[in-house]
Amino acid sequence: MSSNLSKRKQEKKRQQDKLAKKENFKKLMDQFKPLLFAVGLWFATLIVLHLPSIKNDVGEFFIGFTLNSALGFGKMLFLPVESNGFPFISVSGYSMKIVMECTAYNFYIFVIYLSLFSPVSWKQRLITLVIFLLAVFIVNNLRFITVGYIGKYSALMFHYVHDYLWNILFGFMVFLIWAWRYNSGGKKTKEPENGVTKE
């Protein structure tokens, strides 16, 4: 009798552990769903933007926006940032050509989707979106100024920083902001009243 009772307890514990693992996996997937949706829509949007019929117009828009914002940013900081014509920009005499990949358009698009699909209230989503867009805007403008000064003194270092370091920093920044906003704006549950949990 004692042996049967022990087996039942062990079986019940195994079932509880199995159920707990399923619940933990479900919670993990719920947390990563926004990221998966954002990645999927981001990839689909990039495909659309690179369609031959609209690719040039999209490029001109993003390059023009980036060029004007970098010039304005440089003037605000009283830095020698100039343009000798579209799509060129110079920082302290070092000239650079702005191409589509320099505009951070992929990060802009990704953070829009990531913000809108986050499992938080719409107020928190919009706040997160504004923070993301401002962060990408400011960091991308700082990138032009930084690599401009670096390129003036070292072409090798320019390519290293431009091609690798800044992309890593952008990705790290997006992750940190999303983690911060997700944790601070996540759903907070109150104690259940009459068997009903309030959000």
Share of the chain above pLDDT 70, in %: 83
Name the residue among 64, 116, 73, 71 with its Cα closest to residue 89. 71
SS3 of residue 97 by DSSP = strand
pLDDT for res 29: 67
Amino acid at 29: M
The rounded distance, in Å, linking the Cα atoms of 70 and 63 is: 10
Mean pLDDT in residue range 69-76: 93
Residue 191 pLDDT grade (very low, low, confident, very high; cuts 50, 70, 90): very low
Least confident interval from 31-35, 40-44, 68-72, 79-83: 31-35
Mean pLDDT in residue range 15-22: 72
The rounded distance, in Å, linking the Cα atoms of 99 and 88 is: 9
pLDDT above 60 (res 194): no
Q: Within the chain, where are the H helices? A: 2-49, 55-76, 105-116, 122-153, 155-160, 166-185
Please report how the helices 166-185 and 105-116 are oriented relative to each other, as an axis angle in degrees rounded to 10. Answer: 10
What pLDDT, in 10s, does the model give residues 110-153? 999 988 888 778 888 899 899 999 999 999 999 889 999 999 88
What pLDDT, in 10s, does the model give residues 82-103? 998 999 999 999 999 999 988 9
pLDDT for res 165: 83
pLDDT for res 189: 39
Amino acid at 37: F
pLDDT for res 4: 63
Residue with tokens 């990138």: 143
146 contacts 77 by C-beta, under 8 angstroms: no
Taking every pair of Cα atoms in the chain, the longest distance, rounded to a whole number of angstroms, is 92
pLDDT above 50 (res 28): yes
Residue 106 tokens read as 């992929």
Mean predicted lDDT score pLDDT of the chain: 82
Amino acid at 19: L
